[in-house]
Chain A
Amino acid sequence: MNTGDTAWVLMSAVLVLGMTIPGLAFFYGGLVRRKNVLSILMQCFIIVCVVSLQWVLFGYSLAFGPDTGLGIIGSLKWAGLNFVGGTPNADYAATIPHQVFMIFQAMFAVITPALIIGAFAERMKFSAFLIFTVLWATFVYDPLAHWVWGTGGWLRSLGALDFAGGIVVHVSSGVSALTLAVLLGKRCGYDQQPFRPHNLPFTVLGAALLWFGWFGFNAGSALGANELAANAFITTHLAAAAAGLTWALIEWRHHGAPTVLGAATGAVAGLVAITPACGFVNPMNAIFIGILVGLFCYIAVVLIKAKLGYDDSLDAFGIHGVGGVWGTLATGLFAEKAVNAAGADGLFFGNPRQFFVQFLLVVIAPVFAAGMTWMIFKAVDALVGMRVDKTDEIVGLDLTQQSESAYTVIE
Chain B
Amino acid sequence: MKYIVAIIQPHKLEEVKQALEAVEVNLMTVTNVLGQGRQKGYTEIYRGAKEVGGLLRKVRLDIAVNEDFVEPTIAAINKGARTGDGKVGDGKIFVLDLFDCVRISSGERGGIAIG
Q: Do A and B come from one complex?
A: yes
Residue contact B48 to A315, C-beta cutoff 8 Å: no
Asked if B24 is an interface residue, CB under 8 A from chain A, the answer is no
Q: Which of A193, A197, A303 contacts B48 (CB 8 A)?
A: A303
Residue contact A257 to B45, C-beta cutoff 8 Å: yes
Residue contact B45 to A259, C-beta cutoff 8 Å: yes
| 8 Å CB interface, A254-287 against B | 254-255, 257, 259, 261-262, 265
Tell me, rounded to whole Å, the shortest Cβ–Cβ distance linking A336 to chain B.
34
Residue contact B47 to A196, C-beta cutoff 8 Å: no
CB closest residue in chain A, given B54 = A196
Q: Using an 8 Å CB-CB cutoff, how does the interface string of A181-202 with B read, 1 for contact, 0 for none? A: 0000000000001101100000
Tell me, rounded to whole Å, the shortest Cβ–Cβ distance linking B43 to chain A.
9
Asked if A158 is an interface residue, CB under 8 A from chain B, the answer is no
Which chain B residues border A194 with CB–CB below 8 Å?
A: 46, 49-51
Which chain B residues border A135 with CB–CB below 8 Å?
A: none
Which chain A residues border B46 with CB–CB below 8 Å?
A: 194, 196-197, 259, 261
Asked if A53 is an interface residue, CB under 8 A from chain B, the answer is no
Which chain A residues border B45 with CB–CB below 8 Å?
A: 251, 255, 257, 259
In the bound complex, what is the Cα–Cα distance between A67 and B106 (angstroms)?
A: 84
Tell me, rounded to whole Å, the shortest Cβ–Cβ distance linking B51 to chain A.
5
Residue contact B47 to A315, C-beta cutoff 8 Å: yes
Q: Using an 8 Å CB-CB cutoff, how does the interface string of B31-63 with A read, 1 for contact, 0 for none? A: 000000000000011111111000000000000
In the bound complex, what is the Cα–Cα distance between A298 and B47 (angstroms)?
A: 8
| 8 Å CB interface, A217-272 against B | 251, 254-255, 257, 259, 261-262, 265
Q: Which of A196, A265, A302, A303 contacts B44 (CB 8 A)?
A: A196
Asked if A205 is an interface residue, CB under 8 A from chain B, the answer is no
Residue contact A261 to B47, C-beta cutoff 8 Å: yes
In the bound complex, what is the Cα–Cα distance between A195 and B44 (angstroms)?
A: 11
Residue contact A301 to B44, C-beta cutoff 8 Å: no
In the bound complex, what is the Cα–Cα distance between A197 and B48 (angstroms)?
A: 13
Q: Using an 8 Å CB-CB cutoff, how does the interface string of A288-313 with B read, 1 for contact, 0 for none? A: 00000000001001110010000000
Tell me, rounded to whole Å, the shortest Cβ–Cβ distance linking B46 to chain A.
6
In the bound complex, what is the Cα–Cα distance between A303 and B50 (angstroms)?
A: 12
Closest A-B pairs by Cβ, 10 of them: A302-B48, A194-B49, A194-B51, A255-B45, A301-B47, A259-B45, A197-B46, A261-B46, A194-B46, A302-B47
8 interchain pairs (CB within 8 A)?
A193-B51, A251-B45, A254-B48, A262-B47, A298-B48, A302-B47, A302-B48, A306-B48
Residues of B within 8 A of A (CB): 44-51
